[in-house]
């Protein structure tokens, strides 16, 4: 059996359909049998006509009670058929399907699957699929639904996949060892492949998916571990000076580190002193002290004769990091510099020259760091903050600016340890699972619009006490197609109607960098009471006096993003109000958000 057999040689395909299948990424027999359904329809359980509910898709078994009649309508034809079962009757309608006129015999039983209309006591069904009672091609079973392309129907693709499965029946080679199949109660590869496409019961689909997902994740993790081992076995990294003690930085800090921070620093220190390249993920909640850890690691690299670079996703966060690094390292004669895309050409040329000759010890910046003209004299440590905002290629590209530098990636996004092992299988993992003392609790409330007045009253009370507030929304401008709140509309509402007595401003990613920086500076200085914003403020803007955040249309944001924009207060208790607008329980995202609200 050849799994690499070209798709055009599969029964039912041919050259023309092969072109359509190629558009779906299906080129071989292997591609065909691994082109899994996106959803399923349960057409296996018939329902009595009298029990059918308006709007539901349902299977009925009924007797043809009339011949198919043709009705002409302005260039179209409509085919009508009356069917009955023991509980009621149903009018079935098709359009422009004249071939159906001789398809049904009066008194014979058929199965129909489609959407029910039940209005004014009359039950009808439009354009259903059907089978004769003893046949089960379109009905009487669980039907897979596949992603399609133009001119390729579900029925045609299902038949082609059936033919492909027949070709591999009894010939697929098991890819997992028997002990794993037994230990985790997994189906064999052949049964799983068959049942993922055409399950007998939904439980069969669940078990088939479990097997295939297990294999995919296992393969991914094994590949990443192999990559990690190749780093360890083949590449020699930098062995930083053991005489350089990071305790020198720790001892001059105006605060005490937590036990979790000390533990993580010991792991990083041991990594840096070995001659194997460090590839480590540092995970910790907002405010847990990841920046201090990065400062200590950079100090060790610089005092060992190397340069360090810190890459972050936004200019605002880069500026904040520069301030933190300069404050913590001001007594150690270490030169820190900022590189972002909005600095002047003359300033950039000056920075690049100093970086190349080694005058700059630590470079902090955005994606501008990975540009080709950025050259280091002796890069020894690469740190990326907000790791989820960067791809593997970007991490690799910046690392290539040195000779096997140590790499530390940091993220505040909550990742379960088992998932982290899969996503970052090529990295060691350190977790800061302890917050500094006196860290105030972040209180999060999921609310709907009938709570608006109470929320606004709470905000006003806090402003009167000298605090500040964020209002976060998903759009910059109004969009007729999406009924969502925008920055500009909310700004007008808050400034003119809700808080006309206070200073309200707005900020979004389409503004010029200088304009954004000016607004954020005013907000940090307390000159703005309420800041309306998109998620441009998601990363790293530290305004300790802001202790309220309202997130409009929270259903438009993922959990990781909501968690990320909670970082706005380090020292005071912060209250976050999530406004959810759930319109339809039939939408997948709405169900997810509804569960989230209930959980909260």
pLDDT tens for 348-400 read 999 999 999 999 999 999 888 888 889 999 999 999 886 555 555 666 777 78
Helix ranges (H only) for 68-127 are none
Q: How far apart are alpha carbons 476 and 516 in whole angstroms?
A: 14
CB 186 within 8 A of CB 180: yes
Residue 362 · residue 387 · CB < 8 Å:
no
Q: Which runs of E-coded beta strand occur in 153-311?
A: 279-284, 307-311
Query: For position 14, which CATH number holds?
Result: 1.10.150
On whether both 31 and 159 belong to a single domain, the answer is yes
Tell whether 453 and 516 lie within a shared domain: yes
Element (H, E) at 141: none
Q: Is residue 80 part of a domain?
A: yes
Contacts of 505 (CB under 8 A, 6+ apart): 491, 519, 522, 523, 528, 530, 531, 532
CATH of residue 100: 2.40.50.140
pTM of the model as a whole: 0.58
- Same domain for 148 and 284? no
Q: Is residue 201 in a domain?
A: no
Final residue of a structural domain among 432, 462, 479? 432
CA–CA separation, 516 and 521 (whole Å): 9
Q: Does residue 221 belong to any structural domain of this protein?
A: no
Closest alpha carbon to 312 in 352, 349, 363, 269 = 363
Quick one: which H or E segment has residue 514? helix 513-524
Going by C-beta distance under 8 Å and a sequence separation of 6 or more, which residues neighbour residue 217?
Answer: 422
Examine the domain organization and report whether 448 and 523 are in the same domain.
yes
Angle at 219 between CA 216 and CA 221, to 5 degrees: 110
SS3 state of residue 83: strand
Q: Is the domain of 577 the same as that of 494? A: yes
Tell me: do 32 and 59 sit in the same domain.
Answer: no
Give residue 113's domain range.
45-140
Q: Which stretches does DSSP call E strand in 255-361?
A: 279-284, 307-311, 336-339
Q: Tell me, yes or no, whether 538 and 557 share the same domain.
A: yes
Q: Check which CATH number belongs to the domain holding 260 and give it.
A: 3.40.50.300
Mark whether 471 and 325 lie in a shared domain: no
- Shortest CA distance to 55 belongs to which of 121, 141, 140, 118? 118
CB of 145 within 8 A of CB of 38? yes
182 occurs within a structural domain:
no
Q: Are 354 and 377 in contact (CB under 8 A)?
A: no
121 belongs to a structural domain? yes
Residues 427, 363, single domain; the answer is yes
Report yes or no on 227 lying in a domain. Answer: no
Residue 395 to residue 406: CA distance in whole angstroms = 12
Cβ neighbours of residue 343 under 8 Å, at least 6 residues apart?
A: 351
Answer yes or no: do 391 and 428 share one domain. Answer: yes
Q: What are phi and psi of 536, to 5 degrees?
A: -60, -25
CA dihedral 111, 116, 119, 120 (to 10 degrees): 10
Tell whether 454 and 505 lie within a shared domain: yes
The stretches in the chain having pLDDT less than 70 are: 1, 227-235, 386-395, 413-426, 438-441, 475-485, 535-542, 555-574, 579-600
pLDDT value of residue 533: 84
Residue 179 lies in a domain: no
Alpha carbons 81 and 79: distance in angstroms, whole number: 7
Q: Is residue 217 part of a domain?
A: no
Q: How many distinct structural domains can be found in the chain?
A: 4
Taking only the tens place, the pLDDT of each residue in 394-429 is 667 777 888 889 989 888 765 555 555 555 556 778
Q: What is the DSSP letter of 186?
A: P
DSSP class of residue 102? G
* Same structural domain, 491 and 588: yes
What pLDDT was estimated at residue 541? 58
């Amino acid at each position: 059996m050849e799994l690499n057999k070209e798709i055009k040689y599969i029964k039912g395909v041919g050259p023309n359909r092969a072109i359509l299948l190629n558009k779906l990424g299906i080129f071989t027999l292997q591609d065909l049998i691994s082109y899994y359904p996106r959803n399923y329809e349960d057409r296996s359980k018939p329902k009595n006509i009298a029990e059918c509910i308006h709007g539901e898709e349902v299977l009925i078994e009924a007797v043809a009670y009339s011949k198919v009649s043709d009705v002409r309508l302005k260039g179209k034809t409509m085919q009508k058929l009356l069917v009955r079962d023991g509980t009621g009757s149903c009018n079935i309608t098709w359009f422009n399907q004249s071939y159906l006129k001789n398809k049904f015999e009066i008194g014979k039983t058929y199965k129909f699957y489609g959407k029910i209309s039940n209005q004014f006591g009359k039950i009808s069904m439009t354009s259903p699929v059907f089978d004769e009672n003893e046949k089960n091609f379109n009905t009487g079973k669980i039907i897979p639904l596949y992603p399609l392309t133009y001119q390729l129907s579900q029925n045609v693709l299902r038949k082609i996949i059936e033919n492909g499965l027949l070709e591999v029946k009894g010939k697929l080679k098991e890819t997992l060892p028997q002990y794993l199949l037994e230990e985790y109660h997994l189906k064999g590869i052949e049964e799983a492949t068959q049942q993922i496409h055409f399950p007998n019961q939904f439980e069969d689909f669940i078990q088939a998916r479990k097997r295939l997902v297990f294999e995919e994740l296992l393969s991914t993790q094994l590949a990443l571990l192999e990559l990690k081992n190749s780093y360890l076995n083949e590449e020699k990294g930098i062995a930083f000076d053991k005489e350089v003690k990071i305790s020198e930085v720790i001892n001059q800090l105006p605060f005490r580190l937590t036990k979790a921070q000390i533990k993580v620093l010991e792991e990083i220190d041991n990594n840096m002193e070995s001659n194997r390249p460090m590839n480590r993920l540092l995970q910790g909640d907002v405010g847990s002290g990841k920046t201090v850890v990065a400062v200590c690691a950079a100090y060790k690299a610089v005092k060992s004769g190397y340069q360090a670079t810190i890459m972050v996703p936004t200019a605002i966060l880069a500026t904040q990091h520069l301030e933190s690094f300069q404050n913590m390292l001001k007594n150690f004669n270490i030169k820190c510099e900022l590189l972002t895309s909005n600095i002047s050409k003359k300033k950039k040329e000056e920075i690049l020259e100093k970086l190349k000759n080694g005058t700059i010890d630590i470079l902090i910046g955005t994606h501008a760091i990975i540009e080709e003209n950025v050259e280091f004299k002796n890069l020894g440590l690469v740190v990326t903050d907000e790791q989820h905002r960067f791809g593997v290629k970007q991490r690799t590209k910046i690392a290539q600016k040195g000779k096997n530098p140590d790499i530390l990636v940091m993220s505040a996004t909550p990742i379960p340890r088992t998932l982290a092992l899969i996503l970052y299988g090529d990295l060691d993992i350190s977790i800061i699972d302890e917050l500094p003392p006196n860290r105030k609790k972040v209180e999060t409330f999921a609310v709907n619009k009938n709570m608006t007045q109470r929320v606004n009253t709470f905000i006003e009370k806090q402003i009167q006490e000298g605090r500040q507030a964020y209002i976060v929304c998903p759009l910059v401008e109004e969009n007729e197609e999406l009924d969502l709140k925008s920055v500009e509309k909310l700004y007008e509402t808050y400034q003119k109607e809700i808080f006309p007595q206070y200073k309200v401003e707005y900020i979004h990613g389409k503004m010029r960098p200088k304009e954004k920086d000016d607004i954020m500076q005013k907000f940090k200085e307390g000159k703005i009471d309420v800041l309306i914003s998109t998620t441009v403020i998601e990363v790293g803007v530290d305004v300790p006096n802001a202790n309220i955040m309202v997130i409009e249309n929270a259903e438009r944001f993922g959990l990781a993003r909501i968690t990320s924009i909670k970082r706005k207060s380090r020292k005071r208790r912060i209250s976050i109000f999530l406004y959810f607008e759930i319109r339809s329980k039939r939408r997948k995202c709405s169900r997810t958000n509804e569960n989230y609200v209930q959980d909260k």
